[in-house]
Structure 1
């Protein structure tokens, strides 16, 4: 059915006038926010998925596919994140760009995707600057008349990313060596942990893998005990039941909810990507130090 709808919308005519803005579609809300920051008012930007959606095993609906009608550019993360993406763009006549191009990938350590790239590269502000430059290139090729606008917006946004990067490294760098460990449900923080010098452990490597198995829980319990980790965390798009068990068995605190794969609704805790990065850093520091 999805393929049929995709073919149908590919045949839809573009009724926009010559002066109307180009349309850009991103695979999830984080990329949409980054793209809007670069595009400003010059381009119309929309996300396929809504705030709060789990991205890995997302199933595009016919209404999602209709968003592809007349779209000029589709932006994806890449690194194996959107395994449903090829089905979405099949029959959609639009340019495509992969925003993680040029990122040095960190391999997944375990599970069925062992050895493949960890797809959560946007969780590093340093990597985010690569994403932004790829956005500038894609938008400038799509709409050359506004290339100078995209470049200027990107420079301002990269300056904000640098401020967030400094904040992350500074705040997480203040943690005592014994507290410099980040334990989460999904292994979505490998890039952030690398940048901040944190040891990393998680229950499962990718949300589309097996989640919360007895073996995963036992291994995480061992890591928390051996490293005297004071707090463990889980992400907003998954069930934290398994992490609650880790906390009970080790005496660690549940340090709070982290955001990775999706922004919140407007008015929520992380309505923008920059806020997501700062919120996660503040939550991790508060959880590991016991500070409010």
Structure 2
């Protein structure tokens, strides 16, 4: 399934969609954020000195997003482009090339604590065994079976650790200072103020987890987006789908997960705002688990939802987790 025609459309329409800044944005820093969580960080750091355009909006799934011509126009006109990195945004390289942007593309996970992608390591081990253990740098994508989805060496969902969110915020402040030296003191002050809110959030999450008995901390979600939350806050997450929502769970994957749920005595099961709930509802039916609510993994809610900001998202998730587990 080729995506080139869509890319050609993006390239061809760039010249037809000149970016016309408003009076406000002519003075402000023009920032493009790849998805909603990064946009929220950017607004907290930039305040009224930045205008932020979000490519993948609320409740959007960046794993499978297809860029629009307007996205290429926005990236082309940006002063700063903020992205997650770690191959989270599969569309990114094509879009940046199509936009011909001169703006720095800043990967916000740089300097954070990143976790290896367990799914990728499993495939890598399978490939090594199939090839007699021989693999050279640069050959990682060759020889993989059709149907294997490879999503990089690292888990990209780093924002699910509040410590990593602090790294994102620092990197945004650095990027804004580099692009707008006159506003640097403002950006640093905003980042420090928001950093204090993140520290308070970290304490809230730890206190909430401490109230959940250790034997009840195994839960099920749609896709493997909560590895950092698991690592940071001592909970266990199981999922039928891997790191990316792009790869669908096979019948064998689902059967193995159901077996593991019964062995590990999972306490609750949750749908996510970026995935189809059908598979989770099927697993809930087969295991007798009650769906405990909706978690926000890869995107914020819209403005009227329960997770319109990063702080609200993390509070909503831990409150929903704790409430469903303790009620089970």
Question: TM class, shorter-chain normalised?
Answer: over 0.9
Q: What is the match of residue 172 of structure 1? A: 209
Higher helix proportion (structure 1 or 2) = 2
CA shift digits 1:234-284 (9 cap, x unpaired): 211111211112111111111111102111111111111110011001111
Q: What is the match of residue 37 of structure 2? A: 30
- Structure 1 window deviating more from structure 2 (211-220 vs 276-285): it is 211-220
Q: 1:5 aligns with which of 6, 13, 32?
A: 13
Question: Kindly tell me: are residues 114 and 170 of structure 1, through their superposed partners in 2, closer, same or farther at Cα, counting changes over 3 Å?
Answer: same
**SS in structure 1 opposite 2:240?**
strand
Question: Kindly tell me: are residues 16 and 94 of structure 1, through their superposed partners in 2, closer, same or farther at Cα, counting changes over 3 Å?
Answer: farther
CA shift digits 1:42-83 (9 cap, x unpaired): 111121122121111210011222223421111100011001
Q: What is the match of residue 253 of structure 1? A: 290
Alignment of 1:53 with 2:60, yes or no, is yes
Cα distance in 2 for partners of 1:18, 1:127 equals 30
Gaps of 5+ in 1: none
1:9 Cα deviation after fit: 7.1
Q: What is the match of residue 279 of structure 1? A: 316
**SS in structure 1 opposite 2:27?**
coil
Q: 2:75 aligns with which of 68, 72, 92?
A: 68
- Return the index of the structure with the highest Cα Rg: 2
Q: What is the match of residue 231 of structure 1? A: 268
TM-score calculated relative to the size of structure 2? 0.83
Cα distance in 2 for partners of 1:9, 1:269 equals 38
CA RMSD of aligned residues (A): 2.1
Alignment of 1:189 with 2:226, yes or no, is yes
Gaps of 5+ in 2: 1-8, 121-148
**SS in structure 2 opposite 1:67?**
helix
1:207 Cα deviation after fit: 3.0
The aligned length equals 290
Alignment of 1:87 with 2:62, yes or no, is no
CA shift digits 1:81-134 (9 cap, x unpaired): 001111111112222111110122212222633772111001111100000000
Question: Kindly tell me: are residues 66 and 11 of structure 1, through their superposed partners in 2, closer, same or farther at Cα, counting changes over 3 Å?
Answer: closer
1:4 Cα deviation after fit: 2.6
Q: What is the match of residue 255 of structure 2? A: 218
1:173 Cα deviation after fit: 2.2
Which runs of at least 4 in structure 1 moved beyond 3 Å after TM superposition?
A: 9-19
Contact 1:38 1:153 in 2 (8 A): yes
Cα distance in 1 for partners of 2:64, 2:157 equals 14
